Amino acid sequence: MKFWQQKTIVFTLITVIGLLLAVATVAAQGTETQGKLAGAVYTDVNGDGVCVGTGVAGENPVPGVEIVFVSSDKATVISLTTGSDGTYGLAAAGQSIWEVTARPDASKWIVTSRNPLYVPVLPDTGLVQTDVNFCISQGGTNAVIVLPQSGAAAANDHLQTGVVVTAVLGVLILLAGAALEWRRRSKEIE
């Protein structure tokens, strides 16, 4: 085997190893620790939008209320119903800023607390978010409706940035290898 053939094999092996490392980096960035969202829905007797720990008689948990979870990239939509004790939980919530919406039976209930709630499940803010609670009042009462804050949840782009950086580095490595091979072959012709 000629010397240039050996160099080509070594170059090919180095390129393949570099690509495998780039793929492994992207795959490692894709694995994320799961978080948790939990809360409850309570009756808001006086319609003031505050129903947890108020000491007001009758502000009890409400079973059977639909809770909808939407990830910040809108790729994941999950619907759950509160249990017999009025609680709900999303045990394997991916890292995102989740839009959590209470959807009670509109013919019977009015949501008096903020709805939807935007809940960050991120390493910086905590992967476990509890006390994501909603207040609802019987329809037909003189409830005070608290409107949600305007604006959208922030995007979670740190994973996409890592993928793009890794891809660009992989392409640069390939281009550098191709340039070195072209240069080597040009010198052999001379």
Q: Given this model, what pLDDT does residue 152 score?
A: 47
- What distances in angstroms separate CA 124 from CA 22, 28, 93, 95, 175, one per listed residue? 26, 19, 15, 10, 37
Domain ranges in the chain? 3-30+158-189, 35-138
- The single residue listed with the structure tokens 């905590």 is 126
pLDDT beneath 70: ranges in the chain: 1-6, 24-32, 140-160, 190
Instruction: Enter the tokens of residue 158.
Output: 């740190």
Q: Given this model, what pLDDT does residue 99 score?
A: 93
- What distances in angstroms separate CA 178 from CA 5, 13, 14, 19, 138, one per listed residue? 15, 13, 12, 14, 71
Q: Given this model, what pLDDT does residue 177 score?
A: 86
Tell me the fold of 35-138.
Immunoglobulin-like (2.60.40)
Q: Given this model, what pLDDT does residue 143 score?
A: 46
Instruction: Enter the tokens of residue 77.
Output: 């939509």
H or E segment to which residue 87 belongs: strand 87-93
Q: Given this model, what pLDDT does residue 28 score?
A: 57
Q: Given this model, what pLDDT does residue 64 score?
A: 93
**Buried-exposed string 33-56: b where 16+ CB fall within 10 A, e elsewhere:** eebebbbbbbbbbbbbbbbeeeee
* 3-state class (DSSP) for residue 51: coil
Angstrom distance (rounded) from CA 7 to CA 1:
10
Q: Given this model, what pLDDT does residue 135 score?
A: 92
